[in-house]
Amino acid sequence: MLRGAVAAGALALLGTALGALPASAAGYEACPTASLCLYSAADGTSDPGDTVRAYDIAANPQGQSYGTWGDRAESLYNNSPYWACLYSDERFGGQVKAVAPGAKDNLSALAADLGGKLGSHKLAPSQGHCFTGFERCADGALCLFQEPAGRGRLTATTQDYRAYHPDVWANQIESVVNRTDKTACFYTRHLDELTAADKPFRVLPGDATSVSGALANTFNSHRFSDKEDCS
């Protein structure tokens, strides 16, 4: 009887000790290897009813939009050998913060402006890869982006477009990557309105560029050409 009482007392003490462990240790330690884990509360914990959001290194497309979980991450653990690229908007858009492999902390400490405002992420082999999104464009396509360096919303096409839709892509293109075998020729006016004075902005096969200066957000059409000069 005495031995049983002692054992029960020891178990009770052990349970008390386990319950006193920092919640952050339990939360962060539960993050799978080679994953980025997001938590809806501070210090690797989750709000009632939430579970850790774990993204492995092959799940970058899933990280482009969190759906109803957007703008809710308060802490994270980058339990991977890659850089965690954090963005304030969906589709790798808005503000950017690169978090080193192995880092774990509250978002307010790792990225002061992103606490509770995280919109998307990707895991990248280097810090520099956080500031471009051109890799999302498939071979054989021309991809248009609404932010510089292949970030933000994208559309992919293999066709000429006489006129971009005024509510979608007209005057909204800030970067382009051309993975086709033809020159992509962009114009500030619709194709059926062009005159000899309209000179194309050319993107050669294999090239990627940000559209800066006076031409940013001015394109309203494009066509493909077998000739480098778009003639």
Tell me what pLDDT residue 50 has: 85
- Burial (CB count <10 Å: 0-12, 13-18, 19+), residue 194: middle
What span, in angstroms and rounded, lies between the C-alpha atoms of 124 and 199? 37
Using the predicted structure, report yes or no on whether residue 23 has a pLDDT greater than 60: no
Tell me what pLDDT residue 180 has: 98
pLDDT bucket at 22, cuts 50 / 70 / 90: very low
Using the predicted structure, report yes or no on whether residue 19 has a pLDDT greater than 70: no
For residues 27 and 52, is the Cβ–Cβ distance under 8 A?
yes
Q: For 153-167, how does the pLDDT look when each residue is reduced to its tens digit (9 = 90+)?
A: 999 999 999 999 999
Tell me what pLDDT residue 26 has: 57
Q: For 183-223, how does the pLDDT look when each residue is reduced to its tens digit (9 = 90+)?
A: 999 999 999 999 999 999 999 999 999 999 999 999 999 99
For residues 137 and 143, is the Cβ–Cβ distance under 8 A?
yes
For residues 148 and 107, is the Cβ–Cβ distance under 8 A?
no
Mean pLDDT of the chain: 89
Tell me what pLDDT residue 175 has: 98
Q: What is the share, in percent, of the chain residues with pLDDT greater than 70?
A: 89
Q: For 33-86, how does the pLDDT look when each residue is reduced to its tens digit (9 = 90+)?
A: 999 999 999 999 999 988 889 999 888 889 999 998 999 999 999 999 999 999
- 32: enclosing H helix or E strand: none
SS3 144: strand
